[in-house]
Amino acid sequence: MLLSVLDAGPAHGYEVSAELRRRSDGDFDLPEGTIYPALHRLEKAGLLSSTWDDSGTRRRRIYQLTAQGASALVEEKHGWQRFAASVNLVLGVA
């Protein structure tokens, strides 16, 4: 989900959490502080890159998708579509 939000363009953590809440219509009301460790892990895995942005009123870390992250996002989306299709078939709601 974090990769999907960042697929729209570089963003800092606050924007990512706000966008997650907006896209899920408030259903994904995660503790927002837990987004940062997740972003750090994705960066260590090479799926994101980040830099400090000091241009605004406060210092922010800006995250963006790497090429490896973009490929991983495509894989994850396909995987989710397959999984969701299988569950729908089982439930008979397709």
Partner 1 sequence: MDPVEAYLDQVARRLRGDAADARRLLAELESHLLDEVDAARAEGLDDAAARERALARIGSVRTVARAANGGTRDLLAALMTSAAGLAVVGFAAILTGTLVAELLGHVFSMHAFYGLPGDVNPAAAKVAGWLADQPSATNWHQAATLENADDTLLLRGGASLIGLIGSLVAYAWLRRRHRGLPIAVVGATAFGIVGLALVFGGVTGSYTAAEWGTGKWLTDGLVALTVAMAYAGTAARRALA
Interface with partner 1 by CB under 8 A: which residues? Answer: 12-14, 17, 30-34, 36-38, 40, 58-61
Which tokens in the block code for residue 42? 């994705």
Which tokens in the block code for residue 69? 């992250």
Query: Contact, 63 vs 74, CB < 8 A?
Result: no
3 vs 17, beta carbon nearer partner 1: 17
52 vs 83, beta carbon nearer partner 1: 52
Q: Nearest distance from residue 39's CB to partner 1, in Å?
A: 8
Q: Nearest distance from residue 38's CB to partner 1, in Å?
A: 7
Q: How far is CA 70 from the centre of its chain?
A: 11
Question: 77, 52, 47, 76: which is closest to 64 by C-alpha?
Answer: 47
13 vs 69, beta carbon nearer partner 1: 13
